[in-house]
Structure 1
Amino acid sequence: MPESKPLRASILIISTTASKDPSTDTSGGVLTEVFEKDGAGKWDIQEVEIVGDDVLDIQRSITAWADQEDAVNLIITTGGTGFAIHDSTPEAVTPLLHKQAPGLVHGMLAASLAVTPCAKENLQSVLKLLPHACLQAAGADSRTLHKGGVKKLEQDAGLGSTVSSQPSHSHGHSHGHSHGHGHGHHGHAMPTRHTTPSENPRSNDPSLGPTRRSRSSPYPMLSVDEAIKLIKEHTPAPHITKAKVNGILVGSVLAEDVTAAEAVPAYRASIVDGYAVIVSSGKISSKGVFPVASISTATPGEIAPLEPGQITRITTGAPLPPGATSVVMVEDTALKTMTEDGKEEKEVEILAEDVKDGENVREVGSDIKKGEIILKKGEEISAIGGELGLLASVGRADVAVYKKPIIGVLSTGDEIVEHNRPGELRLGEVRDCNRPTIISAVRGWGFEVVDLGIARDKPGALEETLRAALRKVDMVITSGGVSMGELDLLKPTIERSLGGTIHFGRVSMKPGKPTTFATVIPSQQLSLYISSCCLLYITSPEYHLLDYPEF
């Protein structure tokens, strides 16, 4: 077997009960014993850890082992794979895997079900196959490993001829140590990483040159939820301003509850075309022929009071005349006589027999009452959600909203050229597709955008560009310059030149692992900044830096 030292394994036990009382767990000891008795001296157990049935806790433990300086070769998990509500191990582990080994899975199932479906039998069934798989996953040359053929592999693994049908050549990358090290898709090559990050205190110092730069990220890996929590904790409260109720309000977020300044409708209105009548003692005064005393249409103006024995012709949405109680639909009437000029109704017969008080009438405030809360603090004013119309309908001329930042979009990199530059690309040049994409996305959310162009990979030039940007806009979204190369200058520029404090530098997501958030307190400028993409937001005595990777 071409290994020089034992392979390193860690065991993760997923059990809420055992995490509270480790004495209740027996699986950790059983699995450790399997490695000792059946592992042929090829394994060194690094750690046995117990966590509860929580996706983030499971992922945090696995990524910690996978990203440490000398990453383990194998991670064994047990527990949390059933059908109970809190059994979530597969959901936690699957997103961390780059490759899966279904052959090993079937082998484990077949072996364990022949006895009993327990962790011990699962591990025993594949343990002798795992050293070969781990060596390949760690980057060993396959040709060298396979020299000597299947018989040599079986001999190295301690397998007899009776198990020669087992997938001894399987490339079982079933552990999680290779997750998160690349953002390739659509067939792109994945970056290969052979060591893991150490906890260095600061980002690269460009003045020291490539021989002194950090060889691994100084930032621990956080979950997306943890990153968002930190951003919320360190982002200052936005300014509150009054904004006119018009189209410019789209995309704004309300800073207070909004109440109706007036009722809707503001008057008793008819919901049909017909005739306003007076109902007495719960029914129309007399079924028969009535003179048409007036006309009420959906136009402003005074309407004469309606007297008993009279009716008023009324249109949909028009106000009822004073004294009227109900409306009879035009379909329930008949024309009896007309005026002398033949242009208007003089008398109309009411055919309805059981008209109730308030029938076919929309009462004052039946849609919205005066003083009623119509929109809540924190709601967004959208272009198609009807919020603008609702505000306008109750007479609100302005509302309190959180001030929308003006957003600048910046690309960085010596290799970046304008997307519309004529001519063919030279070797090493890349057209800037990120900036137009980000600009259109930000505008789509209703924000004002300033195009800041392309900044070159020069420390002084980048600092000057960022300081100039802060004088124009409230936020800067940038693309590029946040990886581990000596020309990835955004983090050190923010940290060293602008005096920033980086709160996190990596997030467990693909794409997006080198996502960074920091606060900066410049002398007289206050902003929020997010890089690659980067966001810079002026609101209170600090910047905020959030780094996203390139799209």
Structure 2
Amino acid sequence: MASNKGAFLVGILTVSDRCHQGSQEDKSGPNLKSIVEQKNGLAALVVKTEIVPDETKQIKDILVEWSDRAKLDLILTTGGTGFAERDVTPEATKAVLEKEAPGLALSMLMGSLNVTPLAMLSRPACGIRGKSLILNLPGSKKGAQECLEFVLPALPHAIQLLRGDNQKVESTHKAMMSSVSHDQPARHEHRCPHSYDIPDLPVEHHDISKVARRPRTSPYPMISYNDAYSLVQDKAPILHQRSVKCQDALGYILASDVTAQHPLPPFRASVKDGYAVISSDGQGPRRVLSDSLAGELPKSEVIPGYVIRITTGAPVPDGADAVVEVESTELLKESDGGEMELEVNILCDPVPGQDIRPIGLDIPLNQVILKRGMKLGPSELGLLAAVGVTHVPVYQMPTVAVISTGNELCEPHEKLKKGHIFDSNRTTLLSVLKEHGFPCLDMGIAKDNEESLKATLKSAADQADVIISTGGVSMGERDLLKYCLMVGLHAKVHFGRVFLKPGKPTTFATISSKSSQKLFFALPGNPVSAVVTLELFVLPALRKMMGTPKPGLTKIKARVASDINLDPRPEFQRVKLAWEEDHPIPKATITGSQMSSRLLSMAEANALLMLPPKTERMKVMKEGAIVDALIIGKL
């Protein structure tokens, strides 16, 4: 039951036949949850989430349950507000409302119309039942988020009014009046409430020498995977351009279009081994004048009644307008015991242009052969060589430093001490990075103390564009990494927790200087969590920095091979994708136990299965369900 004190209690109801059936992922509900739970959103608690089909009775039953019995402060619905036959959310909502709130609906519509004229087709219902405020939002993630943002500034005051919290209501009124009278020009400013660029996030200024005084709750708000990914992409800078030799350019991204400096072929070239002829001479005996060999200039011009012997790729001599393959001729005269051909018989009627590649047939002079943003692979480099390009403009590749942290870690080549484990994270992460072609720095193992961590972090930041660490980001007494990062390097932490499994304590920060901005990823210490978050966040950031236009992982549809129990968090399970005969969608087989410490689950995995969070109505992803999968290995 909601009280007049404490955080607002919120319920989020997703209305969608397809999401309810499991054939489509609910993206709007989790996104709304992450927004309202933020400190600069509502700082609310989402205590109820549900997915229901587009059925009036089921929608009404949930709204009545959450308002009358659960006593929620705010209920957000997403979906079912359009013109489709089964879009009944507004009708179901109006049937349970005791008072309507047309101002909120109008605010959403007016704001949406500034984004798209199609917003006029939305039919949101807003109002009050008991002390619960109910808002209908669109079904799309983008539309639902935008509409929530339009009304978000008024929601705390509305909820305080419904709660009867007169002290806070009066305080809000005074603040509003002060804002209007003293800062009127800024009254229309609107800061996106789901922005996680947290300027005043407190450094954990506990006395790190006193265990009992360590923080017991994280000061970092939990954010969604999608928002964390977007924030990383927004902060990742595209690195400077430079010119490299083509033989050294493998794996780089082109920084500008490349044009052919020479046509291909650069001369009229023979397609066959045979004879360069004048087509109008037709069939019959011809004298062999000379030869034209690949890599050599013709010795003479073809004249009527004569031919010149020619090899594949050789220049077609002047005067000739066709090539007759050797198979369409017969020898009439020879000399020196077959050393020279003197006369041949042409057995076909040649046509102009026969078996000749004109100048620039494959690539004309100055044609754009490779476009900006293309990745240079073996074929692209061969193409550059074919038209005489020796240097190309590319984006720099980011240099990546990798650090492991933990007093319990030892190197694999060392004798294993009691209470210690071998460090596998650095080997795994460095191998993944090298496989993708990124230059890497192995910074070794930093101990769990302030001095060692600060020194290692500073050294890495001095040498690399991107720093990756594993371990030291949870709530343990020796998890000092974020503290050292902010105190030692004056880094700005943008998020410290992500609503996903595995990888909840993933931390992302930037280190700014006058000349550059460096990225810092503090990944969890569990081996699987480290690899999964590397794939989800780090690799896409590195690809953006090196100029890749679409840096994200490839997403495809996959069939679940067996029932999977869902987790309260969105989960990325390791799977092996395989195609069965006559089925276009691959089957996704879980690679055994999905514990975040079990590195074996990565051994054969070539994809991450994107599983939605568990709800009261959907606790299991059934065998055969179609879900999204992110490709991380060879298929």
State whether structure 2 residue 29 is matched by structure 1 residue 58. Answer: yes
State whether structure 2 residue 292 is matched by structure 1 residue 292. Answer: no
Q: Supply the distance in 1 between the matched residues of 2:516 and 2:27 (Cα, whole angstroms).
A: 37
**TM-score when normalising by structure 1:** 0.62
Q: What residue in structure 1 maps to residue 503 of structure 2? A: 512
How far did 1:11 drift? 4.1
How far did 1:369 drift? 1.4
Q: What residue in structure 1 maps to residue 453 of structure 2? A: 462
How far did 1:262 drift? 1.0
Q: Supply the distance in 1 between the matched residues of 2:37 and 2:212 (Cα, whole angstroms).
A: 26
Q: What residue in structure 1 maps to residue 583 of structure 2? A: none
Consecutive unaligned residues of structure 2, counting only runs of 5 or more, are 1-7, 17-23, 71-197, 524-529, 546-595, 600-635
Deviation string, structure 1 residues 345-373 (Cα, Å, up to 9, x no partner)? 111111113x2211111121111111111
Partner-residue secondary structure (3-state), 1:267: coil
Q: Is the 8 A contact 1:241 1:402 kept in 2?
A: yes
Counterpart among 402, 413, 420 of residue 409 in structure 1? 402
Counterpart among 380, 388, 395 of residue 381 in structure 2? 388
Q: Supply the distance in 2 between the matched residues of 1:361 and 1:308 (Cα, whole angstroms).
A: 19
Q: Is the 8 A contact 2:405 2:469 kept in 1?
A: yes
Partner-residue secondary structure (3-state), 1:450: strand
Counterpart among 58, 63, 76 of residue 119 in structure 1? 58
Q: What residue in structure 2 maps to residue 352 of structure 1? A: 348
Bigger proportion of residues as strand? 2
How far did 1:399 drift? 0.5
How far did 1:289 drift? 0.4
Letter in 2 for 1:510: K
Q: Supply the distance in 1 between the matched residues of 2:206 and 2:278 (Cα, whole angstroms).
A: 88
Partner-residue secondary structure (3-state), 2:336: coil
Q: Is the 8 A contact 1:479 1:531 kept in 2?
A: yes
How far did 1:213 drift? 3.5
How far did 1:461 drift? 1.5
Q: Is the 8 A contact 2:15 2:51 kept in 1?
A: no
Q: Is the 8 A contact 2:298 2:316 kept in 1?
A: no
Structure 2 CA distance for partners of 1:366 and 1:118, relative to 1, 3 Å: farther
Letter in 2 for 1:416: L
Q: Is the 8 A contact 2:330 2:347 kept in 1?
A: yes
State whether structure 2 residue 317 is matched by structure 1 residue 331. Answer: no
Structure 2 CA distance for partners of 1:470 and 1:367, relative to 1, 3 Å: same
State whether structure 2 residue 370 is matched by structure 1 residue 399. Answer: no
Counterpart among 359, 366, 374 of residue 361 in structure 2? 366
User: Greater shift after overlay, 484-493 or 266-275?
Assistant: 484-493
Partner-residue secondary structure (3-state), 1:471: helix
How far did 1:439 drift? 1.3
State whether structure 2 residue 378 is matched by structure 1 residue 378. Answer: no
How far did 1:62 drift? 4.2
Deviation string, structure 1 residues 213-243 (Cα, Å, up to 9, x no partner)? 3333333333333223322332333111110
How far did 1:304 drift? 1.9
Q: What residue in structure 1 maps to residue 143 of structure 2? A: none
Q: What residue in structure 2 maps to residue 438 of structure 1? A: 429
Larger-Rg structure: 1
Q: What residue in structure 1 maps to residue 94 of structure 2? A: none
Q: What residue in structure 2 maps to residue 77 of structure 1? A: 51
Q: Supply the distance in 2 between the matched residues of 1:404 and 1:447 (Cα, whole angstroms).
A: 7
State whether structure 2 residue 479 is matched by structure 1 residue 488. Answer: yes
Letter in 2 for 1:256: S
Letter in 1 for 2:28: D
Q: Supply the distance in 2 between the matched residues of 1:300 and 1:443 (Cα, whole angstroms).
A: 44
Structure 2 CA distance for partners of 1:486 and 1:523, relative to 1, 3 Å: farther
How far did 1:245 drift? 0.6
Letter in 2 for 1:369: P
Q: Is the 8 A contact 1:265 1:364 kept in 2?
A: yes
Q: Is the 8 A contact 2:239 2:398 kept in 1?
A: no
Letter in 2 for 1:362: R
Structure 2 CA distance for partners of 1:292 and 1:224, relative to 1, 3 Å: farther
Letter in 2 for 1:372: Q
How far did 1:402 drift? 0.9
Q: What residue in structure 2 maps to residue 266 of structure 1? A: 266
Map 1:101-120 → 2, pairs under 5 A: 118-119=57-58
Structure 2 CA distance for partners of 1:469 and 1:65, relative to 1, 3 Å: closer
Q: Supply the distance in 1 between the matched residues of 2:514 and 2:359 (Cα, whole angstroms).
A: 57
Letter in 2 for 1:435: R
Q: Is the 8 A contact 2:510 2:517 kept in 1?
A: no
Q: Supply the distance in 1 between the matched residues of 2:51 and 2:11 (Cα, whole angstroms).
A: 6
Q: Supply the distance in 2 between the matched residues of 1:523 and 1:451 (Cα, whole angstroms).
A: 26
Q: Is the 8 A contact 1:303 1:322 kept in 2?
A: no
Q: Is the 8 A contact 1:10 1:76 kept in 2?
A: no
Letter in 2 for 1:490: L
Q: Is the 8 A contact 2:10 2:44 kept in 1?
A: no
Q: Supply the distance in 1 between the matched residues of 2:307 and 2:514 (Cα, whole angstroms).
A: 76
How far did 1:440 drift? 1.3
Q: What residue in structure 2 maps to residue 230 of structure 1? A: 231
Q: Supply the distance in 1 between the matched residues of 2:481 and 2:293 (Cα, whole angstroms).
A: 66
Q: Supply the distance in 2 between the matched residues of 1:381 and 1:228 (Cα, whole angstroms).
A: 26
Q: Supply the distance in 1 between the matched residues of 2:304 and 2:288 (Cα, whole angstroms).
A: 12
Q: Is the 8 A contact 1:221 1:508 kept in 2?
A: yes
Partner-residue secondary structure (3-state), 1:204: coil
Structure 2 CA distance for partners of 1:224 and 1:308, relative to 1, 3 Å: farther
How far did 1:206 drift? 5.2
Q: Supply the distance in 1 between the matched residues of 2:46 and 2:266 (Cα, whole angstroms).
A: 73
Q: What residue in structure 1 maps to residue 216 of structure 2? A: 215
The two structures, once aligned, show a CA RMSD in angstroms of: 3.5
Q: Supply the distance in 2 between the matched residues of 1:531 and 1:470 (Cα, whole angstroms).
A: 13
Q: What residue in structure 1 maps to residue 257 of structure 2? A: 257
Q: What residue in structure 1 maps to residue 92 of structure 2? A: none
Q: What residue in structure 2 maps to residue 544 of structure 1? A: none
Q: Supply the distance in 2 between the matched residues of 1:524 and 1:266 (Cα, whole angstroms).
A: 45
Structure 2 CA distance for partners of 1:54 and 1:219, relative to 1, 3 Å: farther
How far did 1:72 drift? 5.7
**TM-score when normalising by structure 2:** 0.54
How far did 1:10 drift? 5.2
Q: Is the 8 A contact 1:220 1:506 kept in 2?
A: yes
Counterpart among 492, 499, 505 of residue 490 in structure 2? 499
Q: Supply the distance in 2 between the matched residues of 1:528 and 1:66 (Cα, whole angstroms).
A: 26
Q: Supply the distance in 1 between the matched residues of 2:288 and 2:294 (Cα, whole angstroms).
A: 18
Q: Is the 8 A contact 2:10 2:45 kept in 1?
A: no
Counterpart among 418, 425, 434 of residue 426 in structure 1? 418
Partner-residue secondary structure (3-state), 2:31: helix
State whether structure 2 residue 243 is matched by structure 1 residue 242. Answer: yes
Q: Is the 8 A contact 1:499 1:522 kept in 2?
A: no
Structure 2 CA distance for partners of 1:509 and 1:379, relative to 1, 3 Å: farther
Partner-residue secondary structure (3-state), 1:457: coil
Q: What residue in structure 2 maps to residue 163 of structure 1? A: none
How far did 1:325 drift? 0.8
